[in-house]
Amino acid sequence: MSSSISSSTTGTALVKRGFADMLRGGVIMDVVNQEQAKIAEDAGAVAVMALERVPADIRRDGGVARMSDPLMIQEIQASVTIPVMAKARIGHFAEAQILQALDVDYIDESEVLTPADEENHIDKWAFTVPFVCGATNLGEALRRIGEGACLIRSKGEAGTGNVVEAVRHLRTINAQMRRVHSADASELYSLAKDLQAPLALVREVAELGKLPVPLFCAGGISTPADASLVLQLGAEAVFVGSGIFKSDEPVRMAQAIVEAATHFEDASVVAKVSTGLGAAMKGWETASLEQRLAERGW
């Protein structure tokens, strides 16, 4: 029982991916101030995403969307005990350095903000803090993992309240993983070329039958039924952006989505928590959008 060791190592792939494992089955909620953060924690959120404007408002306001003011991130860190995530622009490694210096628990290199680099994403291996990135297909997911992402989420179409794009992305990723998993070893070179993904990671998917990191869902989730849908489609946790605080009754909506995420396979529980919830956020038909955020990132 004598274990006197001071050879601890931080920032390993295992502790970064392991932290994502701890969030599984949970709901990560976008919050813009301390009051919302507390509502999220009270409702059972596993983490909050601190940002100045939820995606629906970014979409409405237009202009350049950047990393949040460190002050609001620090205020939210001080107000809750659960993990606090924050967003950096695609390719903006200086924003990521600031977020790491602020001791945020996860960085979302996010297409919801205005991209800072149209060719390169952040070299995420260079950081101790873990990163989550969005993906619309398997190749994109594996490119992000190749750059050091420890968690992948579907992009969906943020701020629309419409789950259709998230479903498309999840189904695409799953179908492509099934194809890779069933492929002959000699077919993987060509598949890697088609997916524009690193061969080593394609081989890992072929062996595991799934991504080497957890796969969560984001983008347009607005109701307990939406959460149940994407979890049944294979997502392991959900990010809810505008869907909670743009609904009629955010407290009840937050609690209901948390319960639906746990009991997503039990329709009687999802029915119970969906009953009399008030209106979900209004939402947009994606065909009518002027700007598709999911197209950002490469």
Is 14 a residue that touches other proteins (CB under 8 A)? yes
Is 288 a residue that touches other proteins (CB under 8 A)? no
280: left (phi over 0), alpha (psi -120 to 50) or beta: beta
The 31-70 contact track toward other proteins, x by CB under 8 A, reads ----------x-xxxxx-----------------------
**45/76 Cα distance (integer angstroms):** 14
Q: What is the total residue count of the chain?
A: 298
Supply the minimum distance, in Å, between the C-beta of residue 102 and other proteins. 10
74 within 8 A of 102, measured Cβ to Cβ: yes
Residue 110's SS3 state is: strand
Count of other CB atoms within 10 angstroms of residue 89:
24
Residue 214: name the closest of 123, 115, 296, 106 by CA. 106
Is 103 a residue that touches other proteins (CB under 8 A)? yes
User: Which one among 120, 128, 190, 196 touches other proteins, defined by CB under 8 A?
Assistant: 128
Whole-number Cα distances in Å, 64 to 21, 67, 114 = 33, 10, 6
Residue 161's SS3 state is: coil
Is 100 a residue that touches other proteins (CB under 8 A)? yes
Tokens of 56: 């629906």
CB-wise, 162 or 239, nearer to other proteins? Answer: 239
Q: Candidates 101-109, 111-119, 166-174, 290-298 — which segment interacts with other proteins by CB under 8 A? A: 101-109
85 within 8 A of 106, measured Cβ to Cβ: yes
Is 12 a residue that touches other proteins (CB under 8 A)? yes
Supply the minimum distance, in Å, between the C-beta of residue 139 and other proteins. 26
Is 8 a residue that touches other proteins (CB under 8 A)? yes
Catalytic site residue 193?
no
Is 275 a residue that touches other proteins (CB under 8 A)? no
Tokens of 264: 């997503």
Find the binding residues for other proteins in span 227-266 (CB under 8 A). Answer: 255, 258-259, 261-263, 266
Is 10 a residue that touches other proteins (CB under 8 A)? yes
* Residue found by looking up tokens 């101790």 in the block: 128
Q: Which sequence positions are flagged as catalytic?
A: 87
| Interacting residues toward other proteins by CB under 8 A | 1-12, 14-16, 18-19, 21-26, 41, 43-47, 81-83, 100, 103-106, 128-130, 255, 258-259, 261-263, 266
